[in-house]
Amino acid sequence: MYSPEELSMLNTQTQDWLSNSQQRVSNIEQVKELSKVLRYHEWRYYVLSDPIVSDFEYDQLFKKLKQAEERDSNLILSDSPTQRISHALTKDFPEVEHIVPMLSLDNSYDIDDLNDWEKRIKGMINEGEITFSAEPKFDGSGISVIYENDQFLRGATRGDGLIGEEITTNLRILKSLPLSAAFSKYGIQKVEIRGEVVIRKDVFKEMNTKRIEEGLPPLANPRNSASGSLRMQDPQEVAKRGLEAFVYHVSYAIDIEGNSVLGSKIETHSDCINMLYSLGFKTPYEELNIYDNTDKLLTYCNEWEQKRDSYPYEIDGMVLKVNSLSAQEEVGSTSHHPRWAMAFKFKARQASTKLLDVIFNVGRTGAVTPVAKLKPVQIGGVTVSSVSMFNEEFLLTRDIRIGDTVLVERAGDVIPYIAKSVHDVRDGSEKSIIYPSECPICNSKLIKPEEEAVWRCENIYGCEAQVVERMIHFVSKNSMNIKGFGDKYIRRFHELGMLNTIVDIYRLDYDAILNLEGFKEKSVDNLRSAIEVSKKQSLHRLIFGLGMRYVGEQTAKTLANSVTDILELKDFTEEQLMELEDIGPKVANGIKVFFENEENILVIESLRSLGVNTTREAASATFSNVLAGKTFVITGTLPSYSRDEAKAKIEDFGGKVTGSVSAKTDYLLAGEAAGSKLAKAQSIGTVSIINEQEFENLIK
């Protein structure tokens, strides 16, 4: 579509416009240039799924053009990005036309825009009181689904807003989209509904954990993974991706005589959401609120921005709509966006910056990881200057070079992450990244088995970096959870010769620590107490803390449940290990190799002699199974526990933690600002709602 010369020019123009953020668009030549730049980035985003600017940066350029057109209507071109939807499609799936165009949303980052929007709306509507709805803006992949005579008929991607790609077979696999729904109860014969396909953050984290354990680079973010999964040619592979569909809009609904029921039988957007919820669809039913002015809307939006990280799905803002459907019709739409809706965007979590250098770190398993040193950039209110680049394959497949402009994301558990290198803006000064052949710490020769993507230092006990990183992992929250014993203490004690193996953690000389600068009697007593408490941790925490290659938290629990004493694992064959749940050949081999190393056996025996629990029975004595068979959901902010700590405590006592409230939930552990989960638990009626103190009473 674009020649190499055009690509080079467009990328240069993009950087010029982004660099000159205060520049106003004031003449037709600037309008033409900026319009072409925006169309180019629409093509990269919607067609290639390969953006090279952040959403925020695109929005700022779009807003700049829109403001110029508002100042002078003579600057509005017929093919302006503000006047249409987007560009062409790929040809991998059949093209289908949406019944109603799937428009973009106008967006805002500040209150002034919201106030202006409210004034415009109220100036255009003749009816009395106007109310507005607010709900989360899911950061996923847009879809349009049609039901006819109560049956799922067709599903499509958003495409260019007018024409999408038919992905009916892939969408039929999603259990959150019913294959039949009783729309006829509401007098509807045919309906087109809009939604977003997403991946839960915990499911995405688990997918990436497995990839990292296997030496593969993690997936960039849930949004890209959802979009890519929908376009896979094998529906069975789609089924493995953990996709869910939220539906949040009814764009078209007619009765058997062909008359629209929207605005007549169904009067409001909230009525639509209630209908979809009652028919079994996954909707923002619990999160949707109605307000009569934008001050209240803004308060609600700000509340959601504060709790976005605790929400199970990635969201990048809130969608605000005129609630009345007849008022929506009266206000109408432009060719680009409905006038009756607006997206209030949260702080950007994506930005472009320069890759200044690359250093190589050595981890606890000997994996040598390239770490990018970046020109510091603000992303979501945090300054990012250093990010992991995982392995050699990550560098090669993305062709990342020192001096490149890179697109950095900060979201969820992949924080931060280089999403891509922008090759089109290179000027020839960039330098290739050379992977070392020797360990940067101990100079041992690096090894990379054919089936792996990671180069490793095999000097397990002689490489100082591995020794230190293993100790840091051992004391961490998800391992032995020795509170207050972070990497700063580990590194300091190691430098002083007080810590050389994880066994030394239980042989610390507290009198010597008391003499160190910065330590007082109380802090030393707290450290001693935390270390003593850790001796009683569950067996799965010890297994995970020992840092066996490829053994994550879930695999550690599987192993702990298969033995009564940790050293029984020494006698398992690889075939026996693979009979256990979710353990494949690579993981089984990693476990076998660990227990064949005599130094590892000596470490375990030494820990046992120092009082560390190495058996499942002892753990059961410490943590009873009082919560066995009980399902918990955690919501809000607890006084004494983080979300992960509360989950770990519930699991230690035999309980199970899920992410959403249902009739199968036994307990909702609710803290401050509990939100929609509390409301749903109350509406179900059978869920026991408890606070932190009541939870503590349960496990006494």
| Alpha carbons 611 and 492: distance in angstroms, whole number | 25
Residues 6+ apart with CB under 8 A from 376: 353, 383, 384, 385
Task: Identify the three-state secondary structure at position 116.
Answer: helix
Structure tokens at 255: 């009765």
Question: Cα(first)–Cα(last) distance of the chain, in Å?
Answer: 68
b/e sequence 205-229, b meaning 16+ C-beta within 10 Å: bbbbbbebbebbbbbbbbbbbbbeb
b/e sequence 19-47, b meaning 16+ C-beta within 10 Å: eeeeeebeeeebbebbbebbbbbbbbbbb
Q: How many CB atoms lie within 10 A of CB 595?
A: 18
| Alpha carbons 604 and 569: distance in angstroms, whole number | 12
The residue from 91, 119, 122, 137 that is catalytic is: 137
Cis (ω within 30 of 0) for the bond into 376? no
b/e sequence 572-589, b meaning 16+ C-beta within 10 Å: beeeebeebeebeeebbe
- What's the number of CA atoms in the CB half-sphere (13 Å) around residue 333? 20
Nearest to 604 by CA among 592, 591, 617, 613: 613
Q: Please provide the DSSP assignment of 483-545 as one string.
A: TT--HHHHHHHHHTTS-SSGGGGGG--HHHHHTSTT--HHHHHHHHHHHHHHTT--HHHHHHH
Reply yes or no on whether 137 is catalytic.
yes
Alpha helices in 45-136 (DSSP H): 55-71, 111-124
Q: How many CB atoms lie within 10 A of CB 420?
A: 19
Structure tokens at 477: 């929250």
CA distances from 686 to 646, 683, 691 (A): 22, 9, 16
Q: Please provide the DSSP assignment of 532-551 as one string.
A: HHHTT--HHHHHHHTT-TT-
Q: How many CB atoms lie within 10 A of CB 367?
A: 22
Q: For 183-226, give the secondary structure using H, E and C.
A: HHHHCCCEEEEEEEEEECHHHHHHHHHHHHHCCCCCCCCHHHHH
Say what the alpha-carbon torsion angle 344, 345, 346, 350 is, to the nearest 10 degrees.
180
| Alpha carbons 276 and 283: distance in angstroms, whole number | 7
Total residues belonging to the chain: 700
- What's the number of CA atoms in the CB half-sphere (13 Å) around residue 396? 8
- Using a CB cutoff of 8 Å and minimum separation of 24, what contacts does 264-271 make? 265/186, 265/187, 266/186, 266/325, 267/324, 267/325, 267/326, 268/323, 268/324, 268/325, 269/133, 269/321, 269/322, 269/323, 269/324, 269/325, 269/328, 270/133, 270/323, 271/325
Which residues are tagged catalytic?
137
